[in-house]
Amino acid sequence: MSKIDEDIARGGQGQVLDPETYRDSIGTMEQSGKRKWVFPKKPKGKYTNYRNLVSYTLLIVYFAIPFIKINGNPFFLFNVIDREFFIAGQPFYPQDFFILTLGAIASLIFIIIFTIAFGRIFCGWICPQTIFLESVFRKIEYLIEGDRNKQMKLDRQEWNTEKIWKRSLKWSVYVIISLIITHFMFMYIVGYEQVFNIISEGPFANPTNFIVMILFTAAFYFVFAWFREQVCTLVCPYGRLQGVLIDKETINVFYDFKRGENRSKWRKGEDRKATGKGDCIDCYQCVVVCPTGIDIRDGQQLECVNCTACIDACDEVMEKVGLPKGLVRYASEKEIETGAPYKFTGRMKGFAVVLVLLVGFLGYLLSSRGEMEAKFIKPAGSTFFVRDGKILNTYNYTFLNKTNDKKIVTIKVIEPAHAEVGYSASSKIIVERDKISKGTINISFPESEMNLSKQNITIGVYDMKGKLIDSYQTYFEGPFKLQF
């Protein structure tokens, strides 16, 4: 007979003699502010299986992305130090950051819309904190120390051989995993080749990198070995933001209080409806599996991360006692109160329209970002000079190739007419992919057609097919002339 079966057979009191005392014991904080450790029971069920599938998929993605390259470029790289940025294999530069900023705004609006509609699903299904804690560190803890009851027993006992061995083994594995996570995080910043070089050269050759890695490893270990759910309940701003965004029409993990109340222990063969009892048998299985230590029956709480462990636990109990599943389920508060079906509200529609427009504008900016960025700057302190009836100005050019292909370009003056370009070397300039090419050109203009001492000039950069790739407007200097 399983533990749940025993609990039901004893009237729901197999694990708890005093419900109020038990409820106090699973909170994450005492009234004095002292930390209370949460020992969640290992969840199982339909939603847990789905969540495991999502978690393992995202973990594979996390550990695989640093090794994926597109056209020789990293799939994702965010190297702030060397100002190298790649997203989906496409290079981005500091001057493109307005696009990334717009993308961040679009992501924020998406999160807002998603939270308004579906609550805190991100926290329970996609958040890295939840994935690493529940799908990696917690599973190791279950493997070494056992399920909830064994962990509580181990925590209470003296520091004997068993406790020292199990805790030492768990903490050692945690340190190793934290090191692995840190190294992969650095691969997203400097690339896996550089990380492997740092490892092969050793800590004495790279003391700064070594210290930074140790600090991040210590931070990850602290978060996943000790701080745990406190990140979600005390630190994460998203948990507080949801309190502003969620309303009665938001889909969340809810307890159907209309069906569940009045709570009462299970009595075999009893007609609960006839005695005015609800379907909740007060077994506390939804509480013992909660990773943040809350009772979902107390209503929507900021600590709830929508992990669905309580849904699986309740459904298992309902199936065993022969009552319908879904006492705890995904629903809106309005749906539970009124029985009305879920509706996409006007506020959600408004946010969705803004999101579609923003994403469309973002797509336009990405598609029109241009293949190359060109600049023509007059050298500091330089001036014009006159030769054979022509005025010459010198310009330093800088070409940035934003594509994954080598470019061969030439320079022409678009405006004004009759201006000519003189090259210090070949007229065909080669710009390697994702590289910067620099050089110098001279632009000459007939003195007889120079009406102003300084006038605008537009210089174009063309590929070998004659297509204009980029243009740049600067000024052209000439001798001062008195106008009568």
Per-residue model confidence as pLDDT tens digits over 25-50: 335 666 666 778 899 999 999 999 99
In this prediction, residue 483 has a pLDDT band, given cuts at 50, 70 and 90, of low
The mean pLDDT of 11-38, rounded to a whole number, is 53
- CA–CA gap between residue 245 and residue 180 (Å, rounded): 36
Q: How far is CA 109 from CA 4, 112, 280, 337, in A?
A: 43, 5, 38, 29
Contact 435, 412 (CB under 8 A): no
Q: pLDDT tens, 171-188?
A: 999 999 999 999 999 999
- Which residue blocks in 26-160 are alpha helix, DSSP H? 46-64, 97-118, 121-125, 128-132, 138-145, 148-156
- CB neighbours (10 Å) of residue 457? 21
Q: What is the pLDDT of residues 413-469, one digit of tens each?
A: 998 878 889 887 788 899 988 788 899 999 998 888 887 788 889 999 998 888 898
**What local confidence, expressed as pLDDT, does residue 482 receive?**
53
Q: For residue 85, is pLDDT > 50?
A: yes
Name the phi and psi angles at 335, rounded to 5: -60, -40
User: Which pLDDT score is estimated for 21?
Assistant: 37
Task: Report how far residue 263's alpha carbon sits from residue 243's, in angstroms, rounded to the nearest whole number.
Answer: 28
Provide the pLDDT for residue 125. 92
Whether the per-residue pLDDT at 390 is higher than 70: the answer is: yes
Give this prediction's pTM.
Answer: 0.79
Residue 415: enclosing H or E segment and its boundaries?
Answer: strand 407-415
Query: N- to C-terminal Cα distance for the chain?
Result: 109
Burial of 458 (0-12, 13-18, 19+ CB in 10 A): middle
Give dist(CA 221, CA 228) in Å, integer.
10
**Contact (Cβ atoms closer than 8 angstroms) between residue 297 and residue 281:** no
